[in-house]
Amino acid sequence: MSELFSNSIFFFENNFEDMRIRDITELFRNEVNAEANFISDTENRSRKGGNMSASQLATNWICIATAGETVDKRAIEEQWLLDAAELYDPSLYTALLWPEHSRNFGNMGEVLELKAERDDEGILRLYARLCPGLSLLQANANGQLLFLSPEFTPDGNFRNTGKTYLEGLAVTDSPAGVSTTRLRFSRTKGKRIGPYKPLAFDEVREFKKEKGMSKTAKKGWRHFFSIEEPEATAEQETSQPDALQALAEALDAIDKRVSAIETRLGEAEEAVSDVQEDVDTVKEVVDTEDFARLVGNLPELVKNFSKLNSKVTQLPDKKFSKGKKGFNFL
C-alpha cells in the first residue's frame, strides 16, 4: 500500500513542473504518513491490550434502541432504556461492541455514553456515543456490521439495583430492533464524527477575490484544475493608476478647502470676540447715572442751541457787488 502511494507521489513530482504542484504533493505525502502512523499505532495498541477500541474515535449520538415491539415480536420496555441511561458508567462497567453478539473474536469497540430521549412522536429512544475499533472501521468500510443490537441485563436486576444496565452492544447486519441508526465511520483521529458525505470535485471555479494567495499559487491551482488564466487588458492595467491619481488630487483639494474654512472660522471668532468687548464697554457706560442725566438734559440743550443760532450776526458776502449797498457792521 505504501509503495502505491510512493509511486503516485513520484508521478506527481515528475509530471508537473509548477512549484505549487510540488507543494500539493508534499501535503499529500504528510497526510499519507499521518494515516499510516494512525493505523500502525492502532494495531500496536490492539495487540497489546486485545481491545480494538484504541482508535480514539468518538461518534456523535447514535440511536441504538427504540421502545416498543421488535421485528421478532419481542418488546423493549421504556423502563429498560431509562434505567440504562441513568445507570451507565463506563468506569464501573463498560459495554463493549461485539460482532453478531459473539465473544469468540474479541470486541470491536466500546460504549462511551448513553442518554434517553423522546422523539417528535413521543417514542422513547436510547442513544449512545461509541468508540469504534479498527476492525469495526474496516468492516463498516466493506459494508458489513452496519446496525446495532443492545444487550440489557437479562433479569433486569443489575447488581441488586432492581434496574436494567446496558451490558453489551452488538454490531450486526440483522438487528431485531427498529429505527436504529446505520453506522458510517470516517477514520479521523481525535475528533467527534458523524455520518459522512462524499466529497467530489465535479465542478471547480475560481473565486473573484483570492485574498492572501500569491500569483504563483493562483497559477498552480489554475493549472491543476484546468482553469483558464484570465486575460489582463491594457485598459485594466492603466485604469488603476489613473484612478488613484485622480483620487489623490481630489483628496488634496478637499484638504485645502477644509484648511481655508478653518482659517476663516478662526478670524470670525476673533472679530466676534472684539465686538462683544465693545458692546460690553458701551453697556457699562449707558448704565451709569451720569449718562442718564445727560440724556435727560439733551432736549433743553437742543432748544438753547436753536435760540443761539437765530441771534448770530450774518457775515458779509465774499463777493463785492456793483451796487451802493454798504456793509453790515456789528
Q: Which residues are catalytic?
A: 72, 101, 149
**Secondary element (H or E) of residue 69:** strand 68-69
Dihedral sign for Cα 130, 133, 139, 140, please.
positive
Q: At what angle do helices 19-49 and 215-224 cross, to 10 degrees?
A: 70
Q: Which residues contact 99 (CB under 8 A, 6 or more apart)?
A: 105, 108, 139, 145, 170, 171, 172
DSSP letter string over 99-125? ETT--SS---EEEEEEEEEE-TTS-EE
| Gap between the Cα atoms of 133 and 56, Å rounded | 8
Phi-psi region of 68 (alpha: psi -120 to 50; beta: other; left: phi over 0): left
Answer yes or no: are the C-beta atoms of 77 and 65 closer than 8 Å: no
Phi-psi region of 103 (alpha: psi -120 to 50; beta: other; left: phi over 0): alpha
Q: Which three cell numbers, joined as nine digits, stand for 276? A: 462683544
Q: Which residues contact 192 (CB under 8 A, 6 or more apart)?
A: 58, 59, 60
